[in-house]
Amino acid sequence: MQVLFYPTFPELELYTIIAVFNHLDYFATLDPEANFDFAVAWQDQTWTDPNPVLDRIAETHLVLNHRCTDISKQKVEAVSRQVCGYDTLIDPLTYQGLCVKKPNENAAERGTIIQCPISREDDQYVYQAHIDTRDAAGLRNEYRVPVVFGEIPCVYLQQKEHHPENAKTVPLNTTLLTADEVFSVEEQKQISQFCETIGMDFGDLDILRDKHSQKMYIIDANKTGGGFGLLNRFKWAVNDRKEAIRQIANLFEAHIRNRL
C-alpha cells in the first residue's frame, strides 16, 4: 500500500501509526499528486483548519480522520455527554471536592489536582471532577483504547502511582487486555459512537472507570496517538508490545481492504 500523509508527516517513531504501517509494510508519500491508495489527514494539533487539498482528495479517496478537526477537552466532554449522557465537567466556583484542572488544548501540559471551590476560573482551562481509579494496592488504573473504524482491537491497562497533585503520571507497567475484559457491550457501542461523532477513524482514547460508581469516562481523544517508541514510555513487556501492534495492524488492514 502507498499512503499519502497530508499536510504533515508523523516524523516521530513513537507514533502508533508508524509501528502499524511498518508492520504492514506500507509506504508513504507526501505528494498529493502521487499515486496512493488512501490518505491520512495528519496534523498533531488540537484544532485543524479546513484543507482544500484534502477536501479534493476525499472526493475520490479514503482520507482517515478527515472529519476529526477538534479534539479539545471541551469537545471531548461535549461528545461524551452526547453519547454517554454524562461527562466530568464541573463548575469549580461551586463544586465541593477534588477536581482536575487541565488546559483545553490536547496534551498541552499535565493536569493538576486541586480542591474546589476556587475563587477565580481560568477560561483557558477545563475543570473535571477527579475520577478515583485506584485499586487495592493504591495504584491508578487507566485505559488507553485504540479504535480502528469504530472497533477496539485491544486495550492497554496502564497502572500508575497515585500522586496527590498531578493527574498524569508515568506508567509503571502496561498490560494487554481484550475489549470484553474491560467494557460491556453497551460501553463498546458508546466508544464506537464517540469516535464516529468526533470523526476519528483511527486513534486512541483515554478512558477511566470510577471505582465507586463503576461509570466509564472518556477523557481524551488522540488522533495521533503513540506508545510504541523505543524509549518504551508505556513500560511494555516485549510480547505484549508485539501482540498489540499485530492486533491493531490486522484490524486496520482488514478495514482498509474492505473499503478500497
pLDDT of 153-202, one tens digit each?
Answer: 999 999 998 877 777 778 999 999 999 999 999 999 999 999 999 999 99
Asked whether the predicted pLDDT for residue 140 surpasses 90, the reply is yes
Give kind and range of the element (H or E) at residue 67.
none
Q: What's the mean pLDDT in 115-121? A: 94
What local confidence, expressed as pLDDT, does residue 202 receive? Answer: 98
Ordered by where they begin, the domains of the chain are 73-259 (3.30.470.20)
In whole angstroms, give the CA distance from residue 141 to residue 135: 7
Specify whether the CB–CB gap between 205 and 221 falls below 8 A.
yes
What local confidence, expressed as pLDDT, does residue 170 receive? Answer: 84
Give kind and range of the element (H or E) at residue 156.
strand 155-160
% residues pLDDT > 70 (the chain): 99
In whole angstroms, give the CA distance from residue 212 to residue 180: 20
Asked whether the predicted pLDDT for residue 152 surpasses 90, the reply is yes
In whole angstroms, give the CA distance from residue 51 to residue 34: 18
Asked whether the predicted pLDDT for residue 73 surpasses 80, the reply is yes
In whole angstroms, give the CA distance from residue 217 to residue 236: 24
In whole angstroms, give the CA distance from residue 81 to residue 249: 30
Asked whether the predicted pLDDT for residue 107 surpasses 70, the reply is no
What local confidence, expressed as pLDDT, does residue 108 receive? Answer: 58
